Structure 1
Amino acid sequence: MTKKIIMNPRPSKQPDPATADQWVENRAPDVKEPVKRLTLDIPVSLHRTIKAQCAMRDTKMVEEILELLIKKYGNPQ
């Protein structure tokens, strides 16, 4: 008996960068102004701690980090 494996074909083109930009702009509906992406390099241990704490509180990392930034710098809206 021969086992057949069916594989889906590889997508023929790269994702449209405009689609990715659209996703970034539309992922924070509670923000009333356009958003900018911020990339941070943090130690793995700190990332694990934040991620674990957020998992225990059933929150997203971005929500908690944004809250900390607003507490430190205020909400300019």
Structure 2
Amino acid sequence: MSTKKVSIGAKPTNKPATPTADAWVENRTAADAHETMKRLTIDVPESLHRAIKSQCAMRGTKIADEVRELLLQKYGNH
């Protein structure tokens, strides 16, 4: 009968935790924006999301950039 050896890693340290995703979103800024960015979450039908995603992929753009541009066209750049 053989025995299996299990090694136990080093004891965890009390290093400060890395920033959470929420903290990153709260503190990030876009390279071309001069004001703080805020997150906007919306629900869209799956078929609409698929159409948006495929069109953006063909143009080589990001969905967020396209939606941001549409919102600026509708509501202006105040």
TM-score where L is the length of structure 2: 0.68
1:16 counterpart = 2:31: no
Rounded to whole Å, the distance in 2 between the matches of 1:25 and 1:53 is 30
Q: Which amino acid aligns with 2:19?
A: D
Rounded to whole Å, the distance in 1 between the matches of 2:56 and 2:36 is 25
The one-character-per-residue Cα deviations of 1:33-60 (angstroms, maximum 9, x if unpaired) are: 0011000011111111000000000000
Larger Rg: 2
Which piece of structure 1 moves more, 35-44 or 23-32?
23-32
1:57 counterpart = 2:59: yes
Rounded to whole Å, the distance in 2 between the matches of 1:75 and 1:27 is 17
Say which SS state the counterpart of residue 36 (structure 1) adopts.
Answer: coil
1:28 pairs, out of 20, 27, 30, with 30
Return 5+ residue gaps in structure 2 as ranges: 1-8
2:50 pairs, out of 38, 45, 48, with 48
Structure of greater relative contact order (alpha carbons < 8 Å, 6+ residues apart): 1
Deviation for aligned residue 1:31 = 1.0
Which piece of structure 1 moves more, 38-47 or 26-35?
26-35
Q: Which amino acid aligns with 1:64?
A: E
Deviation for aligned residue 1:26 = 2.5
